[in-house]
Amino acid sequence: MNASRKKVFSKTVSREPDRRERSIAVVTGGAGGIGAIICQALAREGMIVVVGYNRSAKKAQELAASLPGDGHVALSAPVTDSAALVKFAAEISARYGACDALVNCAGVTRFVPHGDLDALDDALIDNILSTNVRGPFAAVRALRPLLDKSKHPGGAVIVNISSIAGLTAMGSNVMYCASKAAVDNLTKSLARALAPKIRVVSIAPGVVDNDFIRSMDSRWLEEQIGRTPLKRLAAPGEVASAVIAAIKHLTFTTGAIIAVDGGRPLS
């Protein structure tokens, strides 16, 4: 083969896309119900997904292996352990060199009637606040150097999964509502602090149709649907669609609280 034919051949041969050319999305709480749906949506959009987990190693590994495309991985990411998050970030750095999107989806709660103050004990309060509020901040702190390296259009993106409970003060318990209000405030503060290189957005679902909600008292559930102008629960896929929009399409949006709630505050 002469030199000219070699040159033509080299231009026509296809190649696998370099992983560094694909966006890297990290999801804490990725093995959970909503987290898994978000991971699947991100992968369908062509992103490489890091499924962060706490105790659900097997579930996270199976999820990562099932996602469309290649390059996905499940990594330990206990958001209440800052030292472990530093190791988590180091592993992501070694594998991919950067992070384009961080979705803070790890969270905990337990149903406690709002008037039953004694049932909302200190251990539950500490668990909710350390996971739902300190956890997202600790993840941002650990991954910020990698987010700073992003070449994502519009800058790197942090998406905090919040709840309309942060606005309405109606939710599984008093402290859960307070934790989500704190997440929304954190979103605004971080959006100001990390601009212009990193955008920060909250996605605030209403009542989501998942196993936790379906385990609630049926009369309570019907009441929530009745109070929602669109007269149904949010589908997990609709939450995932909002995450995709925040990352890929709303490139001039930061510090915003995006509701996926069927108009609940209107009632």
- What amino acid positions are annotated as catalytic residues? 176
Name the residue type at position 47.
Answer: M
CA 70 vs CA 35, 151, 173: distances in Å: 19, 20, 40
Quickly count: other Cβ atoms within 10 Å of residue 68's Cβ.
11
d(CA 212, CA 192) in angstroms, rounded, equals: 34
* Identity of the residue numbered 113: P
Q: What three-state secondary structure class fits 75? A: strand
User: How far is Cα 64 from Cα 169, in angstroms, rounded to an integer?
Assistant: 35
Residues 6+ positions from 101 with CB-CB distance below 8 Å: 23, 24, 25, 26, 42, 47, 152, 156, 157, 158, 159, 247
Q: Classify each residue of 207-235 as buried b or exposed e, where b means 16 or more C-beta atoms within 10 Å of its C-beta.
A: bbbbeebeeeeeeebeebeebbeeeebbe
Query: The tokens of 123 are what?
Result: 């251990």
Whole-angstrom Cα distance, residue 210 to residue 105? 15
* Interatomic CA distance for residues 207 and 219, integer angstroms: 14
DSSP letter string over 182-250?
A: HHHHHHHHHHHHHTTTEEEEEEEE-SB-SHHHHTS-HHHHHHHHHTSTT-SPBPHHHHHHHHHIIIII-
